[in-house]
Structures are given as structure tokens and as C-alpha cells.
Amino acid sequence: MNRSLTAALSLLAALAPAAQAQDRGLPRGERVDRVPARDGMSFRASPSAVISAEIALSQLARKKGQWKAMRDTAAPEAVMFRPEPVNAQAWLKRQGGKPVATKWDPQAAWMSCDGSIGVVQGTWSQGEADGHFASVWRRHEKGGYKWLLRLKGVEQSAATVPPDMLSAIVADCAPRKKRPRTQPPDPKRKKEKVEPPPINALIDFSVDKTLYWRSVTNASGARRLLVRIRKDGTMQVVLGAEFEEQAEEDG
């Protein structure tokens, strides 16, 4: 078993007792509060969920082929670069098999307080080549995660040694505002359907505004993924990596 997978399993095992403790009802300051999701469901932030999704994608790519695995795990709005941004679902549908699937090894994860968005950073390997990557994952209505954006850096000059432990950080929850008292809803009044805000796979906030990401491309074609999360009352930069991939190596 490689070191990255061992580290990932260690993190998942370490987070499990914490989740069980939350279910037992620890004091408010020692748990992640339930926050309404975009679809009205409630849940807790768990970085292990996007780490697991990343590992599952890597395993699925080796079993069913890379392009099929990426399509099966991509959100409808997911974006790839060829080298211009394209809809991932449409592009992947037109592709055949890939001789050697890329293997992704997560090393760090950041998640919004409400768990609606998670960002993963790590290393990739394909044959004798390797490099670094970052991906943005969005929680969908059935409770799992689909990727919105994937960026793959160029080949490294030397193989990257994976860390013994993965880093996983959840954003601080935004303070709750006091709501004014309102009259109970009129049961005879028809409830208006509220459409969720559109998803932008190149720049957006999490539903609760505690995580922000932005993908930009400079004049030379290099891309940068900027990620901020809420910590100690401010939005702090946690990732600002550059990716200078070649179009044929994307994915």
C-alpha cells in the first residue's frame, strides 16, 4: 500500500471518532453546526468526504478508464481546459479510452463550514511522469460530491514525496444573525418556488460564503487557483497554486 493511500486512510480513521462525538452532542464550541444546504438539507462539514471522492475517482479510472471515471464523477457544470475552458461532460463524452490512467494522491483538503464545497490538493502520477493538482468538489442533492474543476500542473523535475499525514481544515462558521420576529405563514398562501443561484465552476462561493475559489489564466496561459476560507473572522488565503499544464495532458 503506497504512503498516500495509507495517509488518507489514517485521516479517515482519525475523523470517524470526531463525527461520532458530534452525534453524541458535544458543547457548541466543539462541533461543526448543522447549516442548511442549497437543497434545504442539513449536514456537517467533513473533509474526509472529498478526500474519499478523490481516492474513489483514482481507483475508478484504473478500473473503467480515465475519461469515463471523470465523466461519472463530474458535476453537470464541471469545467476542463483544452486549453480554453470547456464543459467537461460534453468533452469527456466524445473521448475514447486513455492508455495509462492518471493516479491522483490527495495531500490536503479545505472545506466550507456548511460542507457544500471542498477543495483538494495533491500529486498526480502517470507512468514515469508526476506533478501536482487541485480540484474543487461540490455536494449534490443526494449527499455525495461531484467535481466542478480540476487543474493539473506540469511534470515535476523530481518525484514528490507524499506526507505521512494529510491536512484537512474546515472554515469557521459565519456568525448567526438575529432574525426579526415574523408572523406565522398563512397556510392558504401558495408557497413560491425559489430557484437556487447558478453555479459558476470558475469562480464562486460556497453556499454559506465561508469558502471562496477563483480560477484565472494569465497572458502566458498559466492558470492559478486561489482559495480563501473564513478563519478568525476574516477570509484567509489557503491556496494560490499555479498550473502550467499542456492541453493534451489535462485530466
Average pLDDT over residues 233-238: 94
67 or 189, greater pLDDT: 67
What pLDDT sits at residue 248? 42
> Residue 207 corresponds to which cell in the numbers above?
453556499
Average pLDDT over residues 93-115: 88
Q: How many Å apart are CA 49 and CA 109, to the nearest integer?
A: 10
Q: How many Å apart are CA 62 and CA 55, to the nearest integer?
A: 11
> Residue 45 corresponds to which cell in the numbers above?
462539514
70 pLDDT more than 60: yes
> Residue 120 corresponds to which cell in the numbers above?
483538494
Q: Cα Rg for the chain, rounded, in angstroms? A: 19
Q: Flag whether the pTM goes above 0.85.
A: no
What pLDDT, in 10s, does the model give residues 142-181?
Answer: 779 999 999 887 655 445 555 667 889 999 998 876 545 5
What pLDDT, in 10s, does the model give residues 110-149?
Answer: 999 999 999 999 998 888 888 889 999 999 877 799 999 9
Provide the percentage of residues in the chain whose pLDDT is more than 90: 39
Least confident of 31-35, 41-45, 64-68, 83-87: 31-35
Return the amino acid letter for 43: F
Determine the Cα angle at 231 with ends 227 and 233, to 5°.
120
Burial of 145 (0-12, 13-18, 19+ CB in 10 A): buried
What pLDDT sits at residue 213? 94
Per the DSSP assignment, residues forming a β-bridge with 126 are 129
38 pLDDT more than 50: no
Q: How many Å apart are CA 8 and CA 55, to the nearest integer?
A: 8
What pLDDT sits at residue 173? 92
Domains contained in the chain, CATH given: 3-171+196-249 (3.10.450.50)
